Structure 1
Amino acid sequence: MTTVASDTGAGTRTGAASGAGAGTGVGPLLRGWRERRRLSQLELALRADSSARHISFVETGRSRPSEEMILRLAEHLDVPVRERNALLLAAGYAPRYTESPLDAPELELLREGIARLLEGYEPYPALVVDASYDVVAANKGIQLLLAGLPEHLLTPPLNAMRITLHPEGLAPRIRNLREWRGHLLAQMERQIGLARSEPLRALYEEVAAYPPPVDGVAEPDDREDPEPYPYFALPLRIEHDGRVLSFVSSISTFNTPMDVTVAELAIETLLPADPATVAYLQSLAD
């Protein structure tokens, strides 16, 4: 049965990334985001229908941008919703985006929609995580993969990165752990680059410190003669009940979210990457 956590969303755990740039005030913050996106003042001005002179004045504090200008610049700089609120606050404006607990009444339709989506994806695994990779919803396919893990890893809030890379978690079962671990750590590094979240950085430092794969031990593929992957993307190859299941991960987010909690949710679906995986999961469903 699909479960949707009644905990709050990522908002209360990730923390604002208001330190995107050096200094205080909206000007230095905007400059920090512009430099992170590797845009010149002229390039940003052209995208935002402004002028390089005005962008310069805003960044140096010589001009106070309007609320509309801040949101327009944030849109073209692809600033996360949470940090758009931080920009508005730094300029003396009220936050534009709400931050509702995931169990709030106004998000009931969202919770119901997520539950239907995850249940409809069964027997294939699917889950929803927040910006700190805490699992807020999962279906039976995910529960199948987590069977047999120690209780201390399954105590809420479950964390997808911790469960996957912990030496007592899924890591010993992942046949291509070295590649998958590298993929996940690189993904986290990119997210930290987009939003300087201290909880996310702490999680990264924790999972990156887990023992890396040992040749011939942590990667059972070394005991065989594995063929090159006949896949269209890097698969997750994981042992389950004496079989090797292969999945390709796909991640979706909500389009044009108007709530911080919703903006920080990500739906991850694991698509079977070979006929054997499809046949096995379908047999369980039947």
Structure 2
Amino acid sequence: MTTVALDTGVGPLLRDWRERRRISQLELALRADSSARHISFIETGRSRPSEDMILRLAEHLDVPVRERNALLLTAGYAPRYAETPLGDPALGALREGLEQLLRGYEPYPAFVVDGTYTVVAANRGIAMLLEGLPEHLLAPPLNAMRITLHPEGLAPRIRNLREWRGHLLAQMERQMALARSEALRKLYDEVAAYPQPGRAAETTIARPSFALPMEIEHDGRVLSFVSSISTFNTPMDVTVAELAIETLLPADPATVKYLQSLTP
């Protein structure tokens, strides 16, 4: 009897993730303590992987936890990772820790976003940068990419908008290459299509050599920040896995002096 391989089920999904990561069947087999033959049989649907094998392969392919749940469901297993709302009491300690971190970073700006850049927490440094923006952009849910690149948002204030916009769009492209997200794709298409505010010429400012800064006008001066993004190690919850903490570090002494002058 001939076994017919069907291009449906979890096998093709695992193959797609392997190809995204540019890993051969043999290399994946060695990492997962399996054989290239077994990996081939799983990918072509000739062998149904166990729940443990799916999770093992997903771990070695660095599949996001949301997508690991999707793999398990496709294979007929129950999801392994919960998706707890951030407001749930079970995440109370996490929320408190994030709020303390954001407060402790003041007067420098810092905020927390989810997997589609919705702002779930922010400090007073961020509120300062958003002063004067139209209400329709500040209405919840606030989206970091939308408010930064919208022609009525921060975009007209950013001196090096062309460079900063390119950096943000490239960041989103890298994220989309790592995980399927229709919501993220729609957001990318939206913000990439925004008209860019006209400038006669982008101002040349002395910059730090270690990172591209965001140079933004505020209250008659130009502030300069470099961005740092942190995520949680070994998350076991979809919500936590998709949180990212972004901090804006002053990139020059003038910005440090101004922000510190705002501190009581």
> Where on the TM-score scale, by shorter chain, does this alignment land: which range?
over 0.9
- Greater relative contact order (Cα < 8 A, sep 6+): 1
Give the counterpart of 1:31 among 5, 15, 20.
15
Provide the alpha-carbon RMSD of the alignment: 1.3
Shift of 1:69: 1.0
Unpaired runs of 5+ in structure 2?
1-5
Shift of 1:227: 4.7
Shift of 1:195: 1.4
Alpha-carbon distance in structure 2 between the residues aligned to 1:186 and 1:66? 37
Greater mean alpha carbon deviation, residues 42-51 or residues 167-176: 42-51
Does the 8 Å CA contact 2:7/2:44 hold for their aligned counterparts? Answer: no
5 Å-filtered alignment, 1:70-149, equals 70-149=54-133
Superposition TM-score, scaled by structure 2 size:
0.95
Shift of 1:213: 5.1
Give the counterpart of 2:254 among 258, 276, 284.
276
Q: Which residue of 2 aligns with 1:264?
A: 242
Shift of 1:86: 0.6
Does the 8 Å CA contact 1:178/1:213 hold for their aligned counterparts? Answer: no
User: In the TM superposition, what whole-angstrom CA distance separates every residue of 1:33-66 from its partner, at most 9, and x where no partner exists?
Assistant: 0011111101111111111001001101111111
Displaced runs of 4 or more, over 4 A:
none
Residue 201, structure 1, aligned to residue 185, structure 2: yes
Shift of 1:230: 2.7
SS at match of 1:107: helix
User: In the TM superposition, what whole-angstrom CA distance separates every residue of 1:227-278 from its partner, at most 9, and x where no partner exists?
Assistant: 5523310101101001111111000011101100010100000011111111
Q: Which residue of 2 aligns with 1:6?
A: none
Alpha-carbon distance in structure 2 between the residues aligned to 1:165 and 1:35? 32
Shift of 1:215: 4.7
Residue 54, structure 1, aligned to residue 38, structure 2: yes
Which residue identity is paired with 2:13?
L
SS at match of 1:246: strand
Residue 253, structure 1, aligned to residue 235, structure 2: no
SS at match of 2:262: helix
Q: Which residue of 2 aligns with 1:231?
A: 209
Does the 8 Å CA contact 2:65/2:238 hold for their aligned counterparts? Answer: yes
Superposition TM-score, scaled by structure 1 size:
0.88
SS at match of 1:285: coil
Identity of aligned residues (%): 81
Does the 8 Å CA contact 2:29/2:35 hold for their aligned counterparts? Answer: yes
